[in-house]
Amino acid sequence: MRMNFIEELRWRGMLHDYMPDTEKLLENPTAGYIGFDPTASSLHIGNLATIMLLVHFQRAGHKPFALVGGATGMIGDPSGKSEERKFLDEETLQKNQEGIRKQLQKFLDFQGSNAAEMVNNYDWFKEMGFLEFLRKVGKHITVNYMMAKDSVKNRLGEGGGISFTEFSYQLLQGFDFYWLYKHKNVKLQMGGSDQWGNITTGTELIRRIEGGEAYALTTPLLTKADGSKFGKSESGNVWLDASMTSPYKFYQFFINQADADMPRLIRVFSLKTQNEIEILENEHSQSPEKRILQKALAQELTERIHSSHDLQNAIRASNILFGKDAVEDLKKLDEKTLLEVFEGVPQVKISKDKRSECKNVVDFLAEAGVFSSKGETRKAIQNNAVSINKIKITSPEATPTDFELLQGKYILAQKGKTNYVLIQVV
């Protein structure tokens, strides 16, 4: 039995609005699309909710199209924006499009009977002149219709105005839908709830030019329990590209989500069934300190977006601070992840010669400035409050040269439970 797409979205809290008769359309396999803005070389967590729309659409037996806006990306969508976007050159856009393509391949099946397809609207706009666009598209949509869209009204209401370039964006996106309807038999466009105006411009164009029926469906914009926008960390966007947000930081982003947000997040981002999620929620409610929901989602997404190897590295890195096997996990970390785990902790340098001159661990830690004096160091060791590379130091006479160098140059000193110093031997 085929999965019911609308019902799947409904229980996951991913259904915001859709046109009448959309459910009837989806009784049979159909084609639908979502557009992605190539203004960056990577998609980010904020894009994941709409990517998951396409994932569930395909799992329900329908054919998904991912449109990369090579042409419209040169202009920028005014929806949800308070100011004009900067234009990007064609070379940058092409690089960004390729990055997006690679990421979508981790979510969508591009093989089989309902294989996903990727299209670029630059392919149909590149040969079209301005006058041809006005004759073909502009005459079908009135200015009154365009002015009524929220994306336009909001910008005008803020007093800053809107350029003709951004004002015309809805016509360009509308023509995308028309082109896909005519050439690819695409009858449904999906997106975030802020895209409703642009999407319905497309359905209107299809009705006026072709006399055809096309449909719109949107998902709610993802927000946290406190009403703030989901998808950013303290350092900005959480990207799906490992070179922009490492697997460790990506994993930690989900580990650190608030309990109040997890029921929503796991329904939107996980492929687990309703029953599986409810079981996890029950386990989580009994032992919230174990962060069961956060770990389940962090593991699923890190493996899907990066790899099982990256996931194991991320778990290993996370265990360094609190795990039982921290000694072995610490040795296995690569330098990049090691520095990420201890980002923000004090880092000091000491020469190999100085290290060799130190008679014992007391001299070494005092020389490195981990403790203010040798007396303080001895007292901390007596109180069982000093570790080197996660190994407790029990004797003040331990020899510094016996400490293994992590990645050939680092020593991790710990005083108490949470205070770390990363020593680089140079």
Task: List residues forming the annotated binding site.
Answer: 33, 169, 173, 232
Quote the tokens at residue 272. Answer: 């687990």
Quote the tokens at residue 313. Answer: 């590295």
Binding residues for ATP: 232
Phi and psi for 80 in degrees, rounded to 5? 75, 10
Binding residues for L-tyrosine: 33, 169, 173
Q: CA separation (Å) from 39 to 90, 180, 246, 287, 322? A: 11, 22, 20, 42, 39
Phi and psi for 34 in degrees, rounded to 5? -135, 140
Residue 224: burial class (beta carbons within 10 Å; 0-12, 13-18, 19+): middle
**Over the chain, what HEC string results?**
CCCCHHHHHHHHCCCCEECCCHHHHCCCCCEEEEEECCCCCCCEHHHHHHHHHHHHHHHCCCEEEEEECCCHHHCCCCCCCCCCCCCCCHHHHHHHHHHHHHHHCCCCCCCCCCCCEEEECHHHHCCCCHHHHHHHCHHHCCHHHHHCCHHHHHHHHCCCCCCHHHHCHHHHHHHHHHHHHHHHCEEEEEEEHHHHHHHHHHHHHHHHHHCCCCEEEEECCCECCCCCECCEECCEECECCCCCCCHHHHHHHHHCCCHHHHHHHHHHHCCCCHHHHHHHHHHHHHCHHHCHHHHHHHHHHHHHHCCHHHHHHHHHHHHHHHCCCHHHHHHHCCHHHHHHHCCCCCEEEECHHHHHHCCCHHHHHHHCCCCCCHHHHHHHHHCCCEEECCEECCCCCCCHHHCCCECCCEEEEEECCCEEEEEEEC
